[in-house]
Amino acid sequence: MKNEWYKEAVIYQIWPRSFKDGNGDGIGDLHGVLEKLDYIKSLGADAIWFSPLYPSPNADYGYDIADYKNISPDYGDLDLFKQVLDGAHERGMKVLMDLVVNHTSIDHQWFQESLKGKDNPYHDYYFWRKGKGKDGKKPPNNWLSCFEGGAWEYNKDLDEYYLHVFAKGQPDLNMDNPKVRDEVKSIMRFWLDMGVDGFREDVITYISKKEGLPNGFPLPIATGVEHYNKGPHCHEYLTEFRQDIMKDYDCFMVGESPMTNSKDALKYTAGEDKVLDMMISFDHMQADCLVTDTIVTPFSLKKLKKAFTNWQNDLYGRSWNALYIENHDHPRVISRYGSEKFWKESGKMLATMCYMQCGTPFVYQGQEIGMVNNHLTSVDQFKDVVTFNNEKLFKKLGFSDSAYLKIANRTSRENARTPVQWDKSKYAGFSTAEPWFSVNPNYTDINVKQQEKDKDSILNYYRKLFKVRKENKIFIYGDYKEHMHESKDFYVYERNYEGKKALVICSFADETKTFRVPAGFDLTKGKLLLQNYKDAPARANICPLRPYEARVYLFE
C-alpha cells in the first residue's frame, strides 16, 4: 500500500456561512476562519475542506457558483483567502476547495451569455432543448430535479428549456463540450497556482449525461438519474482532468458520488489509472432512512455495519475510504445513530466506530463538540430549497403542517447548518450580530469554550482519538475484520498490522448489555487505548458494556 499524505490525514470540513463570523454581519466568513486556525489544528487536523466560498446568489448556499475564480464578498476576498491559505500552510494544514462543476449558477456569466441565443458560443455550455408535444410546450423529457420539481425550466425569449438536475438556479453544464472541460481545468489551475492542495468534487459522477437524454424511470424526485449518474463519459472526463492536472500539480481529489456502491467506487479510485483518490459514499448514511434522509426508517445497526463493512472489505489494499458520519448535507449524527439522552457517550462512541476504520477521517464543523439537531417551531424558519421542496411533496401526500415540521426537524440537512457554538455568550459566540440562521438554543450547554475546560469532553475525546490514530499505524494501514455481524447491539471489528492486533468495541444499546469477547482475544491482555467511560472493567472474555460504551484495545 503506497503511503500518501492523505492516508494519514484528518480533514476538517468548514461550511463557511455558519463557522465563525469575524466582521459582525451575522454571516460566517474567512476572518472567522483565520481566528480559528489554531483551534482546527488543535484537533489534529491536517487539512481543511472548504464548502464553496465563491460568489453565489445562494439558491443552494454556495453550490450555485457565479464566479469560480473569486471569493464571495460575504466571506471576504482573494487577499483574505490567501492569508487563510498561508495561515493553514504555516500550521502544516493543507487546503481543499469545493469544485462544483456539474452545474453553475444562473448568475454565472456563461449562463447569462447562453441566454443570448443559439449562436452565442456559451449556448452549448448548457443543455438547452426545444419543448416536446404538438405545441412544443412540454419539457424535453420526464426528468425531475433532485431539489425543485421538474428538471427543465422554460425560457420564453429562446423558446427553449434548460436542464437543471438540482435547483432552478443551478443549470447543468454540458461536459460533452470540450470548451467546458477546458474551463474546468482552468478553474483547477487557478486555485492550484495559488497554492491550494486539492479538491472535493461535488456530485462528480453526474457530469456526463446519456446521449439523447432519454426518459427516465418515474420516481418522486430525480427521475432520470440512471441516465446521468456514472454516465457514459464520466470516467473519461475525469481521466482527462486528472491526467492534464496531475502532470503539473500534486493534487488531491475526493469525489462525491451518490448512489454508488463499493464495487463501482473501485472503478474510479483504484489502480494506476484511478481518477479520484477517494469517494464520498452514501451507503452508511442510510441506516435510518431509504435512499434519502427524509424517508425515515427505524435505525438499523445491521444496515450500518453492512454498509461500512462492504466498503472496508472491497477497498482494502486497492483503494482508500473517506470516513465520515456528518457533513452539511445530513442531520447531526448523535440525533440519528446515537442518543441525545446519552449525548456524551454516544458522541464519543460514534467517533470511535467510524474513525478507527481504515480510511481518512473527515470531521464536520461542530461534530467535534457533539452538536445535535435543532428544533424549529415553524417551517418558515428553515432556509433551504430542499426543505421547501420536501414540504411540497409531503403536503401533496396529505401531511399536515405540524407533521411535516416534525419530519423537517428530524431529517433536514439544515440541522447541520446552525452556527457553530463557540461559547455561551449571546449568539453562541458565533457573531456579535443576529446570525443569518438560528442558533441551536442548547448552546449554553454545548459549546467549544466549555469543552476546552473539560478534560472529559467530546472535544477532548476527538483530540485523543486522532492522536491515537497517528501514534498507531495499525489504525491507518491495518486491515479490517468485522465480528458479530448479526448483533443488534454491538459493532465490533479488529485491525491487524505488522503482527499487532487492535479490537474496536462499540455498543449501540441504550442499556447495559453483556458482551462476549470474540474468540482469540483476552481483554485483560490488551492495552486500553480509548474508552468513553471513566473506568473499563473487563474480564478475559466477558464484560458488561454500558449504554453506548466504546473501547479500543491494542494487542502487541
By CB under 6 A, name the binding residues for ligand NOJ: 60, 63, 100, 166, 202-203, 256, 328-329
Alpha carbons 537 and 116: distance in angstroms, whole number: 73
Q: Between 329 and 549, whose beta carbon lies closer to ligand NOJ?
A: 329
* Distance set, CA 293 to CA 148, 282, 412 (Å): 16, 11, 8
Report the nearest approach of ligand NOJ to the CB of residue 277 (Å). Answer: 18
Q: Between 202 and 283, whose beta carbon lies closer to ligand NOJ?
A: 202
Report the nearest approach of ligand NOJ to the CB of residue 241 (Å). Answer: 18
Q: Which of 160, 322, 299, 194 is nearest to 253 (CA)?
A: 322
Contacts of 203 (CB under 8 A, 6+ apart): 102, 256, 257, 258
Q: Which of 227, 200, 198 is nearest to 211 (CA)?
A: 227
Report the nearest approach of ligand NOJ to the CB of residue 200 (Å). Answer: 9
Cell of 445: 450547554
Alpha carbons 185 and 178: distance in angstroms, whole number: 11
| Residues involved in catalysis | 202, 256
Facing residues of 552 across strands?
A: 504, 530
Report the nearest approach of ligand NOJ to the CB of residue 291 (Å). Answer: 15
Q: Between 84 and 203, whose beta carbon lies closer to ligand NOJ?
A: 203
Report the nearest approach of ligand NOJ to the CB of residue 453 (Å). Answer: 34
Q: Between 100 and 188, whose beta carbon lies closer to ligand NOJ?
A: 100
In DSSP notation, 72-83 reads -TTT--HHHHHH
Q: From its phi and psi, is residue 281 left (phi > 0), alpha (psi between -120 and 50) or beta?
A: beta
What are the backbone angles phi and psi of residue 94, rounded to the nearest 5°? -85, 165
Report the nearest approach of ligand NOJ to the CB of residue 203 (Å). Answer: 5
Cell of 163: 436542464
Helix pair 178-194, 234-246: axis angle to 10 deg: 40
Q: Between 29 and 256, whose beta carbon lies closer to ligand NOJ?
A: 256
**Within its chain, how far is the Cα of 113 from the centroid?**
32
User: 3-class SS at 138?
Assistant: strand
Q: Between 60 and 314, whose beta carbon lies closer to ligand NOJ?
A: 60
Alpha carbons 192 and 268: distance in angstroms, whole number: 22
Report the nearest approach of ligand NOJ to the CB of residue 369 (Å). Answer: 22
Q: Between 80 and 254, whose beta carbon lies closer to ligand NOJ?
A: 254
Alpha carbons 197 and 193: distance in angstroms, whole number: 10
Beta strands in 165-215 (DSSP E): 198-201
Cell of 185: 481545468
Q: Which of 12, 2, 42 is nearest to 361 (CA)?
A: 12
